[in-house]
Amino acid sequence: MCGIVGYVGPQQAAPVLVEGLTRLEYRGYDSAGIAVLNPRSTAHPSRVVRAKGRVRDLEAALPARLAGTIGIGHTRWATHGEPSEANAHPHTSFDGRVHVVHNGIIDNFATLRSRLAVDGVELTSDTDTEVVAHLVARELAGQDGAGLGFEDAVRAAVAQIDGTYALAVLDTANPDRIVVARNGSPLLLGVGDGEMFVASDASAIVRHTSQVVLLDDGDFASVTPDGFRTFTADEEHTARSAVTIDLTVEELELGGHAHFMHKEIHEQPESVERMLTGRLDDRFGTAKLGGLNLDPRELRRFTRVKILGCGSAYYVGQLGASMIEDLARIPADAEPASEFRYRNPIIEPSTLYVVVSQSGETADTLFAVREVQRKGGTVVGLVNAVGSSIAREVDGGVYLHAGPEVAVASTKALTHMSIGFALLALALGRVRDLSHADGKRIIAGLRAVPGQIAQILAGEEELALAAKELAPAPSLFFIGRVRGYPVAREGAQKFKEITYRHAEAYPTSELKHGPLALISPELPTVAVIPDDDLVERNVTAAQEIRARGGAVVAITHPGVELGDAATRRIEVPRNEVELDPILLTIPTQLLGYHAAVALGEDVDRPRNLAKSVTVE
């Protein structure tokens, strides 16, 4: 949430910053800004340009020539203060010397603002971030004119802050360096040839370098063109070395698609096949998940599984819990990670805790990891981003290998999470009572998934027609039963996120206990009706909706007799019953996408949302 980029080196900084912000815009797009230092200009040693709206609005506001080879930039997802130019980053100190960009939330900002106001500092924004610029400037100036050095001033300012932060700071008196600090919000350094980069996400700098330094919580760094020095709040040196990231510029381009969401939906057959490579063990009918760091004996000691995720990851967690109960026959449930630690949860040594996050930086999920570990529990992760905070802090896990996902509404990564849960359920089942034959049955089903997704995508035209019919409705129901209910919840989530239509998911069996009162010709329903042991009851529920004038789009299997229970039928190929929800989810992605396109909405950048939620 929010994006940071910084540059110091021989190039002109402004183009590098704008390019990086464009790639980071999925992290926030309420406003954007850059600050560039130019020590050769005595009249303007620094220039700050900010704009409300998208990065393109910032780019339009830039002067024709903005000289300077060091700078920082930011694209904002608003927390404190409305989206406006005044609240956009970078923020500047009262004396014009210090410029700051910040991701995270400063919990004690109100106290700090009051203290600064008493001291005569005029605050010009409503943000929590502005206080940081003033605090650093005061430490640089000192009470008697004998201030601290740049790095020490940043450390002293940060010592007064409570909360989460990724900070990048410029000082016009030190135009050869950027000082950064991290606590609870992602930040990395990019190592180039005679140049260095700062970013909240590697996608911002991938065109320039594949060598990155991942900072840990509590790290500070001083970054110059020749390299970097990392240290702690106590001025102790920390040994941080560069690693190579597996990311290319081409993966971050549209590649002929109109939107990143469309591209990512269509990448799923290939990406799922890639994820499964090397993870299916035919000999023993199980999954190879060495990254769990749990041998079969350790897996057997768990008598319960608790899954923690936020948003769509939580809904996929519900789907995963169903797979685990089906295949491993141990109790499993999912819970929003955002609520978990606040209820003082009982952590059991016999429970395996599984956290799910595409970015690996979701703050609520990361705090849940720490709560489990603080109380002695075992926690593993299903994470897409290699080297992310959650990936580094969990006891083990499964990398999703979905590749980069730029659209805010997750599709590809969510499918990979489902596959990850299927693999975990298979591994847990095979150390218990799941037979070798059933293990091989699930393996065969998983191998069929990529081709079956491709088959669903081949029917996109029919899904687009259905989406156009649904788009005008002010409100919709998504319904499903047992394994179909998480599919319905995720489908409703996608529709809400990108069409701004109200969409609500219900267990199919709950319709008659109240929600049926809302059925009318103006309220259509998307019904998940797999060919399972509840098919007749699901069809009956759809007929009850039709009898009251409601339209029904049925996502179902070939051969299911719907009669007049559906106004439109979307067929999904059959797989094993435990794996069917993975495929049933794919049409809901295209329904949401094409409905948003029909409504003319910004599919990849839905209002009020950001890709990686790194604040509570």
Active site residues: 2, 611
Taking the C-alpha atoms of 498, 503, 507 and 509 in order, what is their torsion angle to the nearest 10 degrees?
-150
Structure tokens at 271: 């990406």
Buried b (16+ CB within 10 A) or exposed e, 503-533: bbbbbbeebeeebbeebeeebbbbbbbbbee
Q: How far apart are CA 28 and CA 528, in angstroms?
A: 33
Q: Which amino acid is at 29?
A: Y
* Cα distances (Å, whole numbers) of residue 219 to 8, 185, 213: 19, 11, 11
Would you say 520 and 549 are in contact if contact means Cβ atoms under 8 Å apart? yes
Q: How far apart are CA 269 and CA 454, in angstroms?
A: 6
Residues in CB range of 75: below 8 A, 6 or more apart: 2, 3, 21, 24, 25, 27, 28, 29, 31, 32, 55
Token pair 């699930």 in the structure block, residue: 442
Q: How far apart are CA 169 and CA 92, in angstroms?
A: 10
Q: How far apart are CA 298 and CA 291, in angstroms?
A: 14
**Going by DSSP bridges, is the β-strand pair 220-224/178-183 parallel, antiparallel, or unpaired?**
antiparallel
Percentages helix, strand, coil for the chain (3-state, rounded to 5) are 40, 20, 40
Q: How far apart are CA 468 and CA 491, in angstroms?
A: 16
Q: Which amino acid is at 389?
A: S
